[in-house]
Structure 1
């Protein structure tokens, strides 16, 4: 074992080598020496732990461990990947892809009017850039935007229900992403949960019977990441709104996925939309920015000045506000919705993926399969009919008829997926029936060529 330890070079000898200086010499030596030391310590730990290694293996281990430990210096952690899973709003892959934004880089590389009123020549309000577009789209008095929808719920409850009861149907006590649950967010806000009804059926009389002097508001939550079918019922938005006005308590509707208005497409027939929710009398609505809306991560509180507007005036708002990059990206995504439906379906990448016809996807899959087989005849890919999914906690009942390129790898499917993830542009595909599947619904224009090149290697 002592002989193996002697094979581990000194930190100084590595730092002073010509190859190391050429690759890493321009970095802060305090950082590089620390990373080299950590790498060598890791090798020592493996030897000391009794791992069966011979001399060539130790040398190879030193080299690979150094390369892995130093890799963050020369590569970026957050990078572009190809989503070939068929999951449109893939949370792990950043959810909604967005349109190219010609305004973003100039805004970030210089100064901007983030909180400056150019007309008046004095300090302005940060949210006005998004608020003005939202008011045009939804006709609301006020809008507040924060960094995600959970933050929107937290801010609204802290503003209007701290120390008070919030009435929610038991069937709407959803679990959010990352295992966070609505009751936990409610507790963090200082509000008190008042459950009514049952998992599958909640009646208007349940809400009416729960209202008392401690009631802060009625909260309706769209279960956007699951669906209950069969013997179910719940009051409509208009019925809850009428009850809330009769009892003089605020009514808030968490619409969820950010469908701004009704779109004439079968996939959205049962999805609640923001415009209708406000039209049915909700005092405020909540929704996400990075789902169907097609923007970056954000949470919206939109409605009356008394309910929505007040949320932007408490100290917690400063902890949840958006940066200028997110404001720019959201404004661009929202402005797409100022256009007619056909243009929204064409320009919004999420809506375009949802509305793709199976015939179009089949043609794309055939063309990609031919290119793959031409570049590497040993692969023998073929076209397969598959199902795609919305993902991202949206449209849980909807699966998309789709077409994919399928490959039966000589090695295991898992090994091929690993190789694809290590491509110059990482490719994330899925396994189905021991086949590696590239679902064309989520493969964007120009990405097919990169898949061909990766498989050719």
Structure 2
């Protein structure tokens, strides 16, 4: 017979009893007594609510487990490590570009010591936190100077605000109607322009815009021409977009700067890897863009940042705007950006930068790893598939890969959930009612974690 509400309530342990259990006592030793007590009381409150609803009380062991789990989620290291077996190289939800060990060490070293962040060692006086990054951006892109801010969206906002505030009589910024886009997180170009104080002037049509459209829209109130790379979608068919060089010709004719928001921002020729050509930062600079804006954590393969490269006069204008301090980045990110750019200057991006390791790895090497997973677990079969670049870069572009495809006895959703609940969470993808694990995006030292997660999920699936 089910317990009566009275007996169920009486079966509940006291807060002190929960605190004295071995697992919770460990929490008390590591965290504050008051914080753990609050958790225990909350768990007991949920148990009382359950009794009220269905006359059943959770077991003491279940309550202890819940306290421990909640403490781990709330106070444990975060973000938690996961294995990206989705095959999406730049997975936005999983933190986009992982950093190389060299870059991570640079950030760690910067965090744990004093540094010359804003100090000139030669003169013994205050220095510029942007000078070193400016030099590296110049060397990497061919630009005269550069600046780093906290992400590309803030880079766009800062740049527009600086450019339109330079002359109060010039606030209009010309944008192709097909480039007044919205990208991830609700970032809309018209909204950002409004916040910056710029007046949007749309030209052309959604699918076709010409250089002459820009020239026809220029007035004495024009502050700049803005080109926006539609990084997360593709318009195909009856389309036309003018070359950046043609837009620059129009701009120079009327003394109007061209700002090029590349979005992803790539320093290498992606055609080498069987992909379409992604606009390169160096090309934007050589074509004459006054300012080129791009992300640090997409195809650059570094930390989240917004990078701006261009003519020194315009970089100086941007860096001196009041918003520059509001969107500046910390010393750890600056260190990581510097180390990332150095990898390109050494031409070592394929060896040192994880996303380019993933992209450049041969399909045969990937197939060998997938086969190793199959042999070690006895699960699934190795099949050819496609990996995506993701992260708003090279939309629709994929590269060949091999995956371990598993058809679980039970639900594919449940099997995928079990992979995520293993000691080191493994995130896979589901296609055609099967769970696919793609080695392309799995670090070489994570094979064991994948194998153990598959075994764990198979054990749960067989029950």
TM-score, structure 1 normalization: 0.92
Is the counterpart of residue 271 in structure 1 residue 278 in structure 2?
A: yes
Residue pairs, 1:275-286, within 5 angstroms: 275-286=282-293
Task: Name the counterpart of 1:450.
Answer: 449
Equivalent position to 2:107, from 104, 107, 110: 104
Residue pairs, 1:36-435, within 5 angstroms: 36-48=40-52, 50=53, 52-55=54-57, 57=58, 59=60, 61-72=62-73, 75-101=76-102, 102-162=105-165, 164-262=171-269, 265-340=272-347, 343-373=348-378, 380-435=379-434
Q: Is the 8 A contact 2:13 2:60 kept in 1?
A: no
Q: Note the C-alpha offset of 1:312.
A: 1.0
Per-residue Cα deviation, 1:4-49 (whole angstroms, up to 9, x for no partner):
333333334433556533332342222222222222223333333x
Per-residue Cα deviation, 1:31-78 (whole angstroms, up to 9, x for no partner):
222222222223333333x2x3534x3545533432333224662231
Per-residue Cα deviation, 1:133-158 (whole angstroms, up to 9, x for no partner):
11111222221100110010010011
Equivalent position to 2:28, from 24, 29, 42: 24
Secondary structure of residue in 1 paired with 2:444? coil
Identify unmatched segments of 5+ residues in structure 2: 457-463
How far apart in 2 are the matches of 1:424 and 1:148?
A: 32
Q: Note the C-alpha offset of 1:243.
A: 0.5
| Distance change (3 Å), C-alpha of 1:175 and 1:452 | same
| Distance change (3 Å), C-alpha of 1:74 and 1:216 | closer
**Count of matched residue pairs:** 446
Q: Note the C-alpha offset of 1:412.
A: 1.0
How far apart in 2 are the matches of 1:310 and 1:288?
A: 20
Equivalent position to 2:11, from 4, 7, 29: 7
Per-residue Cα deviation, 1:158-205 (whole angstroms, up to 9, x for no partner):
111257121111111221211221112222212221111111001112
Q: Note the C-alpha offset of 1:398.
A: 1.1
Question: In angstroms, what is the RMSD of aligned CA positions?
Answer: 2.0
| Distance change (3 Å), C-alpha of 1:72 and 1:363 | closer
Q: Is the 8 A contact 2:262 2:281 kept in 1?
A: yes
How far apart in 2 are the matches of 1:11 and 1:88?
A: 47
Task: Name the counterpart of 1:377.
Answer: none
Secondary structure of residue in 1 paired with 2:182? coil
| Distance change (3 Å), C-alpha of 1:26 and 1:359 | closer
TM-score, structure 2 normalization: 0.91
| Distance change (3 Å), C-alpha of 1:412 and 1:269 | closer
Secondary structure of residue in 2 paired with 1:387? strand
Identify unmatched segments of 5+ residues in structure 1: 374-379
Q: Is the 8 A contact 1:345 1:355 kept in 2?
A: yes
How far apart in 2 are the matches of 1:70 and 1:17?
A: 15
Farther off after superposition, 15-24 or 135-144: 15-24
Q: Note the C-alpha offset of 1:211.
A: 1.2
Where has structure 1 moved over 6 Å in runs of 4 or more?
none
How far apart in 1 are the matches of 2:55 and 2:377?
A: 40
Q: Is the 8 A contact 1:148 1:289 kept in 2?
A: yes
Secondary structure of residue in 2 paired with 1:446? helix
